[in-house]
Structure 1
Amino acid sequence: MPSFSSHDDWYAGLKALCLDDFPKHCRNCGRTFASEDEYFRETRSIRPEITGLKGVDDPDDGPLVEVFRNCVCGSTLLVSCCSRRDDSDAGHRRRELFDKLLNFLELQGLPREQARGELLRLMSGERSPMLETHYGQLAAQARKLGG
């Protein structure tokens, strides 16, 4: 099983909750969670210091991530997620580049979480006006220094 350096890596590696898990029913109180969005919105982490994620290598489905969360009644619920983590050489190179970009933006004074969110936005095909502005400022500074 691949190693993950942080809880964020796990969350980023989740592709989609398996459709067979929804609707999800709490056997203790009967509450129903119709979708993965509802599941994450209306349940709580087991404990703040625990992600509630467990990697599993299923012989039929391949790598899965089990997500444990607590219903509002306190009962622990489980859904399985398919992992989208690319463990190829290209996937490792992309993660290394992402980390370098993230570190660069942090050194430029952007809060790490904000920079991470903006980079993820770009990677999903959205525009990032904040990074476009930041890039413009860096380009202007470089022009001043160079000419």
Structure 2
Amino acid sequence: MLESEDKKSEEQKSEDKFEEVFAGLKVLAEGAFPKECSGCGRVYDTLEDFVENTSPVDSSQGLKEAGGAVKPLIEMSRLCECGTGMTAQCEDRRAHSALGLKRRDLFEHLLSILSEGGMPRGMAKSEILKVMRGEGSNLLSKEQLQRFFS
């Protein structure tokens, strides 16, 4: 009987870890792309998609520095396939606000959970970053996480 309870307890711990990682990934992906063209409605799902499927406004690739010293910002001006101008603002990756610090803590926490679960740290980091960029991750899909933590 005790062995059965231990097995249930282990299953619950695995399920709890899965839920924690999955919820964390959803938070980290917030605020990323997609961007929608106001001219034609074309949606660019990721920064990579935006760069690959638009054209530069001029020879500088449409990049310019903006913002102040407190919050460095780079603006990327591009032309949609329909000719409409679009701008993507890329903030300094290391946000120092309370929210930015919470996101970094969450990133480290998820990285630890995945590493302790047996995923190589470099792979876990790469997959979490994919999710944050809005690219998605086959390894961190709900189905794969359920298998990983079962």
What's the TM-score, normalizing by structure 2?
0.39
What's the TM-score, normalizing by structure 1?
0.39
